[in-house]
Amino acid sequence: EDQVTQSPEALRLQEGESSSLNCSYTVSGLRGLFWYRQDPGKGPEFLFTLYSAGEEKEKERLKATLTKKESFLHITAPKPEDSATYLCAVQASGGAQKLVFGQGTRLTINP
Amino acid sequence: GAVVSQHPSRVICKSGTSVKIECRSLDFQATTMFWYRQFPKQSLMLMATSNEGSKATYEQGVEKDKFLINHASLTLSTLTVTSAHPEDSSFYICSVAGEYNQPQHFGDGTRLSIL
């Protein structure tokens, strides 16, 4: 069974304090790993797709990396507006396009 | 990415009422859409895959007679919660699937509260 585990469950940082969020996964053949940001009361907003180990993607203060067992979302010098829940999801190869989500990391950036 | 509109954003109704939620793909012809449910402080759980012109595929444990899905066109899928009860109160979110390997894009969700 495909599984995604995110850690930590919650993280509080001071503005400017860099850190990383972890997403560990087991999947029967990875088609893609996706990172989303979700604000309270809203649907997830797409951030990155990673397809193979060693791949990296960057967007503003965020950088996502991928190995064969886990993905990291690095946040550099975060700002209060980066506060949100960050969700990781995997899509397995073999037909269906459905996603399996992790529990998410609730990130709070204090000014 | 695809622009997805979900309506209504919030519903409050009495136990026993049936509630319909609409999910529209505004700029993309979607043969496949997905319906998720999210309880407070929990992640998204896939309920069903909605296929245009054919029957939806439900995940294990999801009652197909309670959660009716219709995907009659390439831009609209609907989820009807029939005879809703308080335990059905949740945040329901739809998504549109793009091409192979492309990310799903999500609507802004519907907060359903059953009294």
- Using DSSP, state whether A81 is helix, strand or coil: helix
Residue in B6, B43, B95 closest to A102 by CB: B43
- Please answer whether residues A70 and A22 qualify as being in contact, where contact means their C-beta atoms are separated by less than 8 angstroms: yes
Amino acid at A8: P
A95, A97, A102, A103 alpha-carbon torsion, rounded to 10°: -140
Contacts of A31 in chain B (CB under 8 A): 101
Contacts of A41 in chain B (CB under 8 A): 108-109, 111
Report the percent of chain B where pLDDT is more than 90. Answer: 76
pLDDT exceeds 80 at position A26: yes
pLDDT exceeds 90 at position A32: yes
For range A6-33, the mean pLDDT: 96
Q: What is the DSSP letter of B107?
A: -
For range B62-84, the mean pLDDT: 94
Residue in B100, B104, B108 closest to A99 by CB: B104
Contact with chain A for residue B101, Cβ under 8 A: yes
Report the alpha-carbon distance of residue B48 to residue B33 in Å, rounded: 9
Q: How far is CA A5 from CA A22, A26, A38, A102, B39, in A?
A: 8, 9, 17, 5, 17
Amino acid at B5: S
For range A22-47, the mean pLDDT: 95
Amino acid at A68: K
Q: How far is CA A28 from CA A69, B25, B33, B34, B56, in A?
A: 12, 30, 23, 21, 24
pLDDT exceeds 90 at position B19: yes
Neighbours of A5 (CB within 10 A): 13
pLDDT band at B42 (very low <50, low <70, confident <90, very high): confident
For range B60-73, the mean pLDDT: 93
Query: Helix (H) and strand (E) counts for chain B?
Result: 0, 11
For range B76-97, the mean pLDDT: 95
- Please answer whether residues B106 and B5 qualify as being in contact, where contact means their C-beta atoms are separated by less than 8 angstroms: no
For range B17-21, the mean pLDDT: 97
| A47-59: pLDDT as tens digits | 999 999 999 999 9
Residues 53-92 of B with CB under 8 A from A: none
Amino acid at A10: A
- Using DSSP, state whether A9 is helix, strand or coil: coil
Q: Which of B63, B105, B70 is nearest to B84 (CA)?
A: B63
Contacts of B111 in chain A (CB under 8 A): 41
Q: Do A43 and B102 touch (CB under 8 A)?
A: no
Contact with chain B for residue A72, Cβ under 8 A: no
pLDDT exceeds 90 at position A95: no
Residue in B100, B101, B109 closest to A43 by CB: B109
pLDDT at B54: 87
pLDDT at A97: 82
For range A3-18, the mean pLDDT: 97
Q: How far is B32 from chain A (nearest CA, A)?
A: 9
pLDDT band at A20 (very low <50, low <70, confident <90, very high): very high
pLDDT at A79: 98
pLDDT exceeds 80 at position B52: yes
Q: Which of A33, A52, A16, A49 is nearest to A101 (CA)?
A: A33
Q: How far is B105 from chain A (nearest CA, A)?
A: 7
Mean residue pLDDT of chain B comes to 92
Contacts of A100 in chain B (CB under 8 A): 46
Report the alpha-carbon distance of residue A105 to residue A83 in Å, rounded: 10
